[in-house]
């Protein structure tokens, strides 16, 4: 699905604001036709934002089920003969949408966009009632999975295996946009180099169009190549590549009859070879973090000020990359990473596919079998495949994306893992026209002797907590075990680069300790320094993305004090002591490599 853009042929009307909102206490609002009329029991709710932390109503915060959003929208007369599309950046985790009581959209999956052509349901110049039912329930069939438990008072509780709070609502912008009847519906760009020139292979879809032409514009808007037809190959003489740290972008302007759609792209290549990760043919070392879309008050809501602030902090620290743990991020984030030359490992929402973990905490006892008809099953897998395909459809043209992470910490040691993983890996390979490398993030429980699927993937991505969940506080043992395990990975996955996608301890900001014990700011610095020392000795390790960029909200638990505290920064983005040490390291590495 193309990103919503205002162009010479398209107008965008942003519908963000304070909407009317109601909790569906009995979860029967759809049957009762709540979408037909304006709610009388509503309260104000900002869009975009998670609704959970906006009010002081705990029943609302932890409601399991349906939430209703509503607003009136006037259709400008200038819409005239155009098609009118209603677009949602996301709705977590599922949604149904009605216009004047008529259902126009239904969507599953909480982190990807969806839209509906509502031209025939509305009248230019008139107002319509827009009603949205958002469903925050997770089941064994959803991605991510979860289940619901009812307590002794009969109150339902959403449970899940992943370690972040189940924020929900309308997290990203809602917009209306116009496009001509014949319109560009998809653009694909694949790039390569031929000496100093850039090669651009493109494909544009515009069903019914009589004439399609394209122009490539450089960052200053100057035409540098042009072509005719729905597909073709163009040459940019003396191309400026997209590089880590230098996000040079071109625009492929597609004209299809009356429609014009500008698709940004960068010219760069990605390849895995001899245990190295190559961007534009040069070895790239990932420095950065796993992140979360998580902020005080707005939860997982997208906000441009907070996004730019986070990028400023990452740059201050000398980071050059991050992973969109554990779901696709807002498209604004991906565009901005393109612009700033920040490298992204793009992850699907397939997290928590592992019953050996509870709330991110290891060893809390297995109560379910991960893969079975009653737990993670064929429907879950089909959902996982769909999320991979849809993510790649959305993000395929982003130069910042260099690697797909199709799952985080699934039960890759289970006997049934291969049957689940094969179609998921295949979906990524078949969907990506740029043929980026594909990986999944391996959990500490699936050490090389237990892991059953690594041959299906191009890279080894490891989340390791030596010194924290195991060898707690004993960094000598932790270091020995870490070195031992990496040596085994090199044996079982020869030629595959190893990226550490998580490592680090919970750290209570302000807890300082002469003895450098776990939870102290000193221990975080020590533990990271130990991991870094090990990485520096091993050429097959090509990346360090610590866990996590910032502290974040989780479900309550005895190991979580107001959330997960593994942040390099606090939840309000203040540095912990360790941030300065890592900054020194990363800036020195940046100085040496140039990015
Ligand atoms: C890993 C998960 C991550 C958790 C982290 C932790 O990938 O989501 O937050 O551990 O325990 O298992 O902090």
Q: What is the CATH number of the domain that holds 79?
A: 2.60.120.260
User: What number is the average pLDDT over the span 216-243?
Assistant: 98
Residue ranges of the alpha helices (H) in 71-135?
Answer: none
**Is position 292 within any domain?**
yes
Q: What pLDDT does 364 receive?
A: 43
| CA 490 – ligand 1 centroid, Å | 24
**Is position 7 within any domain?**
no
Can you tell me which atom of ligand 1 is nearest the CA of 408? Answer: 7
Whether residue 367 has pLDDT greater than 80:
no
| CA 565 – ligand 1 centroid, Å | 11
**Is position 3 within any domain?**
no
The SS3 assignment for 178 reads strand
- Of 115, 347, 409, 544, the active-site residue reads 409
| CA 60 – ligand 1 centroid, Å | 27
Residue nearest ligand 1's atom 5 by CA:
360
| CA 163 – ligand 1 centroid, Å | 6
User: What number is the average pLDDT over the span 552-567?
Assistant: 95
The answer, yes or no, to whether any atom of ligand 1 lies below 6 A from the CB of 409, is yes
The answer, yes or no, to whether any atom of ligand 1 lies below 6 A from the CB of 566, is yes
| CA 456 – ligand 1 centroid, Å | 23
Q: What pLDDT does 366 receive?
A: 47
Q: What pLDDT does 362 receive?
A: 47
Q: Which run of H or E residues covers position 488? A: helix 475-492
Single residue among 179, 198, 233 that ends a domain in this structure: 179
Q: What is the DSSP string of 373-402?
A: TTSB-HHHHHHHHHHHHHHHHHHTT-TTEE
Can you tell me which atom of ligand 1 is nearest the CA of 325? Answer: 8
The answer, yes or no, to whether any atom of ligand 1 lies below 6 A from the CB of 408, is yes
Can you tell me which atom of ligand 1 is nearest the CA of 444? Answer: 12
412, 502, 554: residue to mutate for ligand 1 pocket, most atoms within 8 A of CB: 502
Whether residue 469 has pLDDT greater than 80:
yes
Instruction: Verify that 351 and 468 share a domain, yes or no.
Output: yes
Whether residue 444 has pLDDT greater than 90:
yes
User: What number is the average pLDDT over the span 372-398?
Assistant: 96
Residue nearest ligand 1's atom 12 by CA:
360
Q: Is the distance from CB of 201 to CB of 244 less than 8 angstroms?
A: no
User: What number is the average pLDDT over the span 207-229?
Assistant: 98
Q: What pLDDT does 297 receive?
A: 98
- Check residues 540 and 366 and name the one with the higher pLDDT: 540
**Residue 46 structure tokens:** 């900002």
| CA 215 – ligand 1 centroid, Å | 45
Instruction: Verify that 565 and 498 share a domain, yes or no.
Output: yes
Q: How confident is the model at residue 532 (pLDDT cuts 50, 70, 90)?
A: very high
Can you tell me which atom of ligand 1 is nearest the CA of 162? Answer: 8
Selection from 301, 318, 379 nearest residue 140 by Cα: 379
The answer, yes or no, to whether any atom of ligand 1 lies below 6 A from the CB of 501, is no
163, 441, 470, 567: residue to mutate for ligand 1 pocket, most atoms within 8 A of CB: 163
Instruction: Verify that 173 and 194 share a domain, yes or no.
Output: no
> Where do the DSSP E strands lie in 395-506?
401-408, 438-442, 460-463, 498-502
User: What number is the average pLDDT over the span 336-355?
Assistant: 96
Integer Cα distance of 370 and 198 in angstroms: 47
The answer, yes or no, to whether any atom of ligand 1 lies below 6 A from the CB of 294, is no
User: What number is the average pLDDT over the span 192-201?
Assistant: 98
CATH number of 251's domain? 2.60.40.10
What's CA 114's distance to the chain center, in Å?
A: 16
Whether residue 232 has pLDDT greater than 90:
yes
Q: Quick: pLDDT tens for 285-314.
A: 999 999 999 999 999 999 999 999 999 999
Q: How confident is the model at residue 215 (pLDDT cuts 50, 70, 90)?
A: very high
Selection from 379, 400, 393 nearest residue 348 by Cα: 393
Residue nearest ligand 1's atom 1 by CA:
360
The answer, yes or no, to whether any atom of ligand 1 lies below 6 A from the CB of 188, is no
Q: What pLDDT does 78 receive?
A: 84
Residue nearest ligand 1's atom 11 by CA:
360
Please report, rounded to a whole number, the percentage of residues in the chain having pLDDT higher than 90: 96
The answer, yes or no, to whether any atom of ligand 1 lies below 6 A from the CB of 547, is yes
Instruction: Verify that 341 and 381 share a domain, yes or no.
Output: yes
Instruction: Verify that 316 and 242 share a domain, yes or no.
Output: no
Single residue among 179, 203, 220 that ends a domain in this structure: 179
Instruction: Verify that 264 and 303 share a domain, yes or no.
Output: no
Instruction: Verify that 200 and 119 share a domain, yes or no.
Output: no
Q: What pLDDT does 361 receive?
A: 52
Q: Quick: pLDDT tens for 79-130.
A: 888 999 999 999 999 999 999 999 999 999 999 999 999 999 999 999 999 9
Single residue among 145, 162, 179 that ends a domain in this structure: 179
461, 518, 550, 564: residue to mutate for ligand 1 pocket, most atoms within 8 A of CB: 564
Integer Cα distance of 453 and 455 in angstroms: 6
- 149: annotated active-site residue: no
Q: What pLDDT does 434 receive?
A: 98
| CA 164 – ligand 1 centroid, Å | 9
- 485: annotated active-site residue: no
**Maximum mean pLDDT: which of 292-296, 351-355, 364-368:** 292-296
The answer, yes or no, to whether any atom of ligand 1 lies below 6 A from the CB of 158, is no
Q: What pLDDT does 358 receive?
A: 63
User: Alpha carbon of 503 to those of 15, 41, 316, 478, 484: distances in Å?
Assistant: 40, 46, 21, 12, 16
Instruction: Verify that 198 and 145 share a domain, yes or no.
Output: no
Integer Cα distance of 338 and 328 in angstroms: 15
Instruction: Verify that 190 and 172 share a domain, yes or no.
Output: no
Q: Helix/strand/coil (H, E, C) string of 213-245?
A: EEEEECCCCCEEEEEECCEEEEEECCCCCCECC
Integer Cα distance of 582 and 595 in angstroms: 16
| CA 344 – ligand 1 centroid, Å | 19
The answer, yes or no, to whether any atom of ligand 1 lies below 6 A from the CB of 506, is no
CATH number of 528's domain? 3.20.20.80
164, 441, 463, 503: residue to mutate for ligand 1 pocket, most atoms within 8 A of CB: 463
- Of 115, 347, 502, 521, the active-site residue reads 502
The SS3 assignment for 588 reads helix
**Is position 2 within any domain?**
no
**Is position 280 within any domain?**
no
Instruction: Verify that 350 and 488 share a domain, yes or no.
Output: yes
Domain interval for residue 393: 285-593
| CA 360 – ligand 1 centroid, Å | 4
360, 462, 564, 568: residue to mutate for ligand 1 pocket, most atoms within 8 A of CB: 360
Q: What pLDDT does 81 receive?
A: 87
User: Alpha carbon of 342 to those of 275, 314, 434, 580, 584: distances in Å?
Assistant: 22, 9, 18, 20, 19
Residue nearest ligand 1's atom 4 by CA:
360
Q: How confident is the model at residue 369 (pLDDT cuts 50, 70, 90)?
A: confident
Instruction: Verify that 112 and 35 share a domain, yes or no.
Output: yes
User: What number is the average pLDDT over the span 148-168?
Assistant: 95
Report how many domains make up the chain: 3
**Is position 5 within any domain?**
no
Q: Quick: pLDDT tens for 127-154.
A: 999 999 999 999 999 999 999 999 999 9
Question: What is the chain's mean pLDDT, rounded?
Answer: 96
Instruction: Verify that 239 and 167 share a domain, yes or no.
Output: no
**Is position 6 within any domain?**
no
| CA 363 – ligand 1 centroid, Å | 13
Q: Quick: pLDDT tens for 455-467.
A: 999 999 999 999 9
Distance between terminal CA atoms of the chain? 32
The answer, yes or no, to whether any atom of ligand 1 lies below 6 A from the CB of 564, is yes
- Check residues 357 and 516 and name the one with the higher pLDDT: 516
| CA 471 – ligand 1 centroid, Å | 17
Q: What pLDDT does 519 receive?
A: 98
The SS3 assignment for 190 reads strand
Whether residue 359 has pLDDT greater than 90:
no
Q: Which run of H or E residues covers position 263? A: strand 259-265
Q: Quick: pLDDT tens for 408-427.
A: 999 999 999 999 999 999 99
**Is position 278 within any domain?**
no
């Amino acid at each position: 699905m193309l990103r919503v853009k205002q162009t010479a042929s398209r107008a965008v009307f942003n519908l963000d604001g304070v909407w009317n909102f109601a909790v569906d206490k009995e979860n029967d609002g759809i049957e009762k036709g709540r979408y037909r009329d304006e709610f009388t029991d509503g309260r104000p709710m900002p869009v975009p934002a998670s609704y959970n932390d906006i009010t002081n109503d705990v029943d609302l915060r932890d409601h399991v089920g349906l939430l209703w959003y509503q607003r009136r929208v006037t259709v400008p007369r200038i819409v005239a003969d155009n098609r009118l599309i209603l677009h949602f950046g996301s709705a977590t985790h599922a949604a149904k949408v009605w216009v004047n009581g008529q259902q126009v959209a239904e969507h599953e999956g909480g982190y990807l966009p969806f839209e509906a052509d509502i031209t025939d349901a509305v009248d230019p110049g008139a107002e319509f009632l827009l009603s949205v039912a958002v469903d925050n329930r997770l089941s064994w069939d959803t991605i991510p999975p979860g289940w619901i438990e009812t307590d002794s008072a009969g109150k339902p509780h959403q449970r899940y295996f992943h370690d972040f709070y189940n924020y929900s609502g309308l997290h990203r912008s809602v917009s209306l946009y116009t496009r001509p009847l014949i319109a560009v519906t998809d653009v694909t760009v694949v790039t390569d180099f031929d000496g100093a020139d850039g090669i651009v292979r493109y494909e544009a879809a515009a069903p019914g169009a009589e004439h399609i032409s394209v122009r490539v514009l450089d960052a200053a808007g100057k035409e540098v190549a042009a072509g005719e037809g729905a597909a073709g190959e163009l040459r940019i003489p003396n191309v400026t590549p997209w590089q880590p740290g230098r996000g040079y972008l071109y625009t492929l302007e597609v004209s299809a009859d009356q429609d014009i759609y500008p698709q940004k792209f960068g010219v760069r290549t990605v390849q895995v070879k001899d245990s190295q990760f190559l961007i534009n043919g040069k070895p790239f070392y990932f420095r950065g973090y796993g992140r979360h879309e998580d902020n005080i008050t707005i939860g997982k809501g997208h906000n441009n000020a907070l996004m730019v602030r986070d990028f400023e902090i990452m740059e201050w620290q000398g980071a050059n990359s991050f992973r969109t743990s554990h779901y696709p991020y807002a498209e604004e984030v991906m565009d901005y990473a393109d612009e700033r030359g920040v490298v992204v490992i793009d992850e699907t929402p397939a997290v928590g596919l592992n019953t050996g973990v509870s709330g991110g905490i290891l060893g809390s006892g297995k109560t379910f079998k991960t893969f079975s008809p009653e737990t993670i099953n064929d429907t879950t897998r089909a959902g996982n495949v769909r999320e991979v395909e849809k993510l790649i459809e959305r993000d395929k043209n982003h130069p910042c994306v260099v690697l797909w992470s199709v799952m985080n910490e699934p039960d890759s040691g289970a006997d049934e893992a291969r049957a689940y993983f094969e179609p998921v890996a295949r979906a990524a390979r078949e969907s990506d026209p740029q043929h980026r490398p594909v990986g999944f993030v391996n959990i500490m429980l699936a050490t090389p002797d237990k892991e059953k699927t690594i041959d299906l993937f191009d890279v080894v991505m490891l989340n390791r907590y030596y010194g924290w969940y195991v060898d707690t506080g004993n960094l000598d043992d932790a270091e020995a075990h870490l070195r031992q395990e990496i040596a085994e990975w090199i044996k079982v996955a020869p030629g595959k680069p190893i990226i550490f996608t998580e490592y680090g301890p919970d750290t209570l900001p302000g807890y300082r300790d002469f003895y450098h014990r776990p939870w102290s700011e000193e221990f975080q610095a020590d533990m990271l320094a130990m991991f870094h020392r090990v990485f520096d000795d091993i050429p097959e390790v090509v990346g360090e993305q610590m866990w996590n960029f910032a502290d974040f909200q989780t479900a309550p638990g005895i190991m979580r004090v107001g959330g997960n505290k593994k942040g390099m920064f606090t939840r309000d983005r203040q540095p912990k002591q360790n941030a300065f040490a890592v900054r020194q390291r990363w800036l020195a590495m940046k100085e040496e490599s140039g990015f």
